[in-house]
Chain A
Amino acid sequence: DAGVIQSPRHEVTEMGQEVTLRCKPISGHDYLFWYRQTMMRGLELLIYFNNNVPIDDSGMPEDRFSAKMPNASFSTLKIQPSEPRDSAVYFCASRQDRGRNTIYFGEGSWLTVV
């Protein structure tokens, strides 16, 4: 099992540029989550999907953020335009829809906006 795979692992971009973060969940998992981690705010849920459908996007900071899940094996989180305050670690996570199963996290995408 390859685990949750995220790319890129590290990205440095200039303010105003578009950033796309990618996630491949564990095969067979029905839920996919995007979290953001910062020193100031800790771990925050941005959005989560069930069977490719967004269920709760109340954590998405503003219209500059968007997330899609076109199929069961791929999701993107896009920031356009990016700002320095978006600098954070973005985690993707997934789990099976089997009651009490564990949420597995990817290694994270470390984003720096300068």
Chain B
Amino acid sequence: AQSVTQLGSHVSVSEGALVLLRCNYSSSVPPYLFWYVQYPNQGLQLLLKYTSAATLVKGINGFEAEFKKSETSFHLTKPSAHMRDAAEYFCAVSDVIGGTSYGKLTFGQGTILTVHP
């Protein structure tokens, strides 16, 4: 069974500062990994995903994440935070079916990012 741990339920940064949201996973097989963002009163939007290609994955809105198998981590970063980045961020892991496909996502508990002016 897969699981995800997001370290820090709340992260606060100043506008222009580095954003680092931490995610560690547990999986018995090479996983697929995802970061989603949720703005208030909205659904989840995919930021980026790792599906066993390049270990450094670039996503939307200037975010990127690096898959580190040795550390079982998939931390999300952005060099310079904007006010509009304030939201809740979820890391997720999937089961892999047949080597390429996947079924359900298992989510972490989420990290609320606050950006101060």
User: CB distance A102 to B46 under 8 Å?
Assistant: yes
Instruction: Check B100 against A48 for contact (C-beta < 8 Å).
Output: no
Which residues of B (4-56) have their CB < 8 Å from a CB of A? 32, 34, 36, 42-46, 49, 51
Q: How many residues of A contact B (CB 8 A)?
A: 22
> Known: A43-B90, A100-B32, A102-B49. Is A107-B43 also a contact (CB below 8 A)?
yes
Residue A106 CB within 8 A of the other chain = yes
Contacts of A104 in B (CB 8 A): 46
Cβ of B106 < 8 Å from any Cβ of A? yes
Q: Which of B58-111 contact A (CB under 8 A)?
A: 90, 100-110
Measured as residues with beta carbon below 8 angstroms from the partner, the interface class of chain B is 20 to 34
Q: Out of B45, B46, B100, B107, which one reaches A42, CB within 8 Å? A: B107
Please name the residue on chain B nearest to A96 by beta carbon. B101
Q: Is A114 interfacial (CB 8 A cutoff)? A: no
Query: Which of the residues A42, A56, A108 comes within 8 Å of B103, measured between beta carbons?
Result: A56
**Is there contact, CB below 8 Å, between A45 and B104?**
yes
Contacts of A108 in B (CB 8 A): 42-43
CB-CB nearest in chain A for B42: A107
Q: Which residues on A sit within 8 Å (CB–CB) of B49?
A: 100, 102
Output the least CB separation between A92 and chain B (Å). 9
Chain B residues with CB under 8 A of A103:
34, 46, 105
The residues of A that contact B42 with a CB separation of less than 8 Å are 107-108
What would 13 A/B residue contacts be, using CB atoms closer than 8 Å?
A: A31-B103, A42-B107, A42-B108, A43-B110, A56-B104, A91-B43, A97-B101, A100-B51, A100-B101, A100-B102, A105-B36, A106-B43, A108-B42
Interface residues, chain A, CB within 8 Å of chain B? 4, 31, 33, 42-43, 45, 48, 50, 55-56, 91, 93, 97, 99-100, 102-108
